[in-house]
Amino acid sequence: MNALMKFLHIAAAIVWLGGIVFMLFALRPAAAQLAPPQRLPLIEQVLGNFFKRVWECIAILLVSGLFMLLTVGMKNAPLGWHVMLAVGLLMFALFGHLYFGPFRRLKLAVAAADWPEGGRRVAQIATLAQINLGLGALAIGAVVFRV
C-alpha cells in the first residue's frame, strides 16, 4: 500500500507541476501570437480543463501524503516531510485563490468579451502559477535534499 501511495503522490505532483510548466512555457507564449478574441477563450478553455485535473491532483496529494505521514507517525517523519506538508498546504490555498479569484474573473471577462480585463486576469494567473511552481520545487527539494 505504501508503494501505491508513493506512486500516486509522485504522479499527482508531476501532473500538477508539469501542467504549470506547459501553461507558462508552451501555451502562453504560443497563444500570445493570437488576437485577444481568439487567445483568451482558448486560454480559458485549456485552463478550465487543466484546473479540473489540478483539483484531482490536490485530492490525491492530500490523501496519499497524509496516509504516508500518518503511517510513520508525525513525530517519526523526516523534517522534509513536514516542510513538504506545509508548502503543499500553501500551494493548495494559493491554487484555491487562483481558481476562485482570477480564473473566475477570467471566465466572466471572456463571457463579456472584455479583452483588457481578460488579459489582466491571465497575467495574474501566470504570476500565481509561477509562485506555485517555485513552491513545488521547494517542496520537492525539501524531500530530495533531506532538509
Per-residue pLDDT tens over the stretch 102-124: 999 999 999 999 999 999 999 99
Q: Average pLDDT of 94-99?
A: 99
Grid cell listed for 56:
484531482
Domain ranges of the chain: 2-144
pLDDT band of residue 146 (cuts 50, 70, 90) is confident
Closest by CA position to 147, among listed 88, 86, 79, 90: 79
Grid cell listed for 128:
500565481
Number of helices and strands (H, E) in the chain? 6, 0
pLDDT in the model for residue 132: 99
> What is the rounded CA–CA span in Å between residue 61 and residue 56?
9
Q: Give the side-chain half-sphere CA count within 13 A for 117.
A: 13
Q: What's the pTM?
A: 0.94
pLDDT in the model for residue 1: 86
